[in-house]
Structure 1
């Protein structure tokens, strides 16, 4: 027994090689099974991804996530069903156990033989070599009788092999379809989900988000923004409504868009949605019909704003003013019509365009100099009153809703201010009168012309009227000028204004404003003075009017004389009362003050009457009733005006001074008495002089009444003469008509009555007799 030898290595290597072949078959089985699972898993995942993307129109990020999930799932399948099984290589013992399990009649002979054959000699001590040899030989013999491959499931292997072939065939068909059909569903899916492109799915409606570039659209921060979505003209179905879906937007999930009022002319349709006061970024997409757009990221940027602004107005040329800078932020600005406005400023960010909008109606483009600065000019033709708004657009086309604006108000060049007054005439004048006038013309920028405008209308039944202008030489020499003082005379005789007319005079001045008013198409800046209304009368009517006014002044002067007599009486009474008093009492001092005030009032009223009589003198001269320095003017001046001026001037001043001195010397008996006596004496002189003036005035009135009576008689005689000549001509005409001849009778020579001078200056006429009697009565 001890001489028995173990089987040779060649006997055991046969089993070992068969186990190696089994191990290779197992690896092949794992490859077939793993690859089939990987292929079908990838196909099913791709199919699911295609269905999900087609139904829900996933955006780029969603598709990227799905691609990552598919890759991860495929890798997991490969790891679990291919890499993990292949990494676990079965040992010979494990394979032997698997073979013995599949062949029950082997028992444990195969594993025992294989293990005993591997024992080294140093571990064989204590074992029967014969028994070991017999066990090994028996196990090897039985192993040769068994097919090791029956441990594999051949049916499952064939099934997975078929599945792998089918998966490879289906994958090849998909690849060929993707390559051969560019518009096919598989090609679109591959581009969208494998290459992550934005290729759209076939759809009947095509939507386009305006201003979206590379999946982004820019909104102005903090502003209201209107976003437009267009349904392309090549769409087969035009939806009735389009919605916007929001993502990462607070409080909103979707919003319906409104169809714009004005639609494009190319057949497309446009919808709009307003985003109010956008402060945070978000994402949105548009959907309508069967179309879904990609998600668009909203980026917020600050809209352009005016950083600095300079406004310079250039007044019209006629104003002769230098350009003026307008202080920013202090509008509205009042500017002369016909000016131009220069605008220059800078922006907070680069600009693509700039414009200025006037009252949301007229837009004027501004020049963008270096992206940040802008400038322009609003010329005379466009410079109007209104609200001026500067609209800036950046390179993205954004503009701020809160644009910089300022108001312009047109400051019209006021018409010249004209003041005029008539000198030395009243409300009635004769046709040959001269009318002195004086005044002042002022204007902001210059007066170029001025003239007298007149118009007249008769009040008789024929209602004649006329108008015209008269140039003033004194004004013409001083123009053009900003300010003119003038004094001149208007002669009425060349104007041929009939008596009984209402004459209106005014002065008109035109400034140098040459800017046309488009509405009126004329230069409107003509200033006019107040109208002066005069009544043109005959000489006797003027004399009657003068006499009436003289009577009024005489009555007023009588009242003043009475007041002065009262002052004299009260002064004498006060003097007598205080003659023996050591000092004046307070009540007596108050009486002196009252007398002073009354004396001043009498003096001022007397001076006013003297001034009115001076006006009568000028009126006589300007109406040419008599030659300058005539008896009427001399009488009024020497007998009335100058004495009145003496009374109202030196005499009244002396009386007031003496009364004041009396009051101040109230404690000194002697000086007070002297002042009292002097005051009474002066007042007595005033009373005497005023009585003398009054008697002259009464005498002058009688004289003037006689003269006026003479003129009335002459007028009556002239009227009788005119009627007589007219009746004579009519009778001659009747006689000639009865005889059958109708020669034209000569026109009667109506004598033109001459305005007679006062009886002192003209000898009485020999006829008619009533005039002689009137003249004699006037002399008496």
Structure 2
């Protein structure tokens, strides 16, 4: 009835449209909920079985197809078709009639009145208006929810929400495993690992290996939930070669590193492999086997800096130790049997060459020991050749790396080392001069200089300054003294023009003190310097000195240093004590003879005087041992002097003292023993004096030395150089062993005196040419 009056009664069509819209909404909600529930249920069932059983790809495909089919059927029947269907008006009207009978009765009465013939009657019109008003009131209070119930929709939505929660729980608690299960469900035949809690981590899965090489496989057990579990015991490596061979290898557990390893020997072809065990299984990995590129030729060419005037050096094979000069331009050419795309120089223990050699700059030199940066490579378009060009500023062991398209690296076991030699500073040797030398104002000093360099000597010069006597210009303030000294004129004398590239240069500078108008009390400061030919960052300068020479009218001919004077005085004291000991020994012998005849008061006094004399000599020896410097005596010689002093005071002097109190026979024996003791002490003291006379006083490099004209570091004592070794060989050849003994006994005393005289005085140097 309502459907018939929907067009004639206002509001009825709107009510029917609202009912139709609610029906469509409820159908969409129920269809979506049911479709989602079926889909989630299929996914949960398939993933759950896959987690428990690690389903093969066919089973996963079947579950995927079944899930999609059921989901499509439910979606079509419960969602798509209801949405596409339009409920008829009659059915909607009937539903409204059943739910709202009063509305149906009012509408029926209104329709019957409208269909009556007498519509002009006032009462009829009034009734019609009242009925229409009643229908409109019923329509206003009518609700579509009373016609279309929501109970079933709510139940289905709740079921879908529960399914959604069930699938979200594992996703939130186990994201990685859930994601892997989802991938395995969506892609049944994809190369994926098993979605178990335990899995194996392979750092190098897909890799490339050289043919016939041993390949080691390493698998580290891990757990997806982060909680370590029981480590499996039976883990295997399964592989399938390109030729169709399928095999397995057991993997051994390294308990210390907690990893499984297995080695496949002499791999000859590519293969696919995976690791499984303990319910876990990795995806398939690819091991590509190929031939690495071969380094056919390697040539290193070094072009030294232009100032060195050295010819280029080529190292064929670029192997072994290759020495080049710092700053050289290096060109390394390589050729390969196949195209390569990445060529590198891999350095180990690389160190840069320090540009300074001073000890104070060692810290800065250590800071340069950093990793060598990669050198850019120039590859030919075909990839068969490569060239490295760089400047040699450091070196070390290096290896050549080249990779082909497959990623295989060139295999070489050749040892290669680039040794970058620094341009070392020149060496300088100076002789004929010594710090603290005392010379007369009319002396002429010869400064013998020798310099050598690995590239060439650029200059050799001597600089001297005449300092006034201290009494002439006294300075109470140190700054004033230094300022005054700096203002003194200096004279620089250079060697004759040197030939470019001279590796060794020798030159004698002369200092004519008389020509310099040097006076007693003044001093002369001398410095000798040399430099090489390095242009950048500049020549390396090496100096020796300064030496201070004191002008003294009282100096011995040829000059004498303070150390030499002290040694001379020491030798004089030792010789004086030796002579006194010799006299005392003779006196003791004479005293012995007198006592043998008769012990008298006179002999007793002589014995006591002789005892006091030895005690005094003992004190002098002890004082010499304590006051002498290391340049004059060695510690062993000082100790020996102290022992001799004790022997004199505790032995000889004591026996003489006792002899003065004994009878004739006993006193004679003690005096005889004292005489022998004095002779023994004298001999040992003479030996010490000989040793002291031959000690070489320590001095700076080149001081009082003479350049040999060949090697700057080879110097000899000032004066003439003699080939003592050759003369000694000649003497040994001319004399038999017995003859040598005779010569030694005859000339021993002569040799000792010669050594003492040589230590006391210096032979005057021959008069050189005027000052240059």
| TM-score, structure 2 as length reference | 0.38
Larger RCO (CA under 8 A, 6+ residues apart): 2
| TM-score, structure 1 as length reference | 0.37
Higher helix share: 1
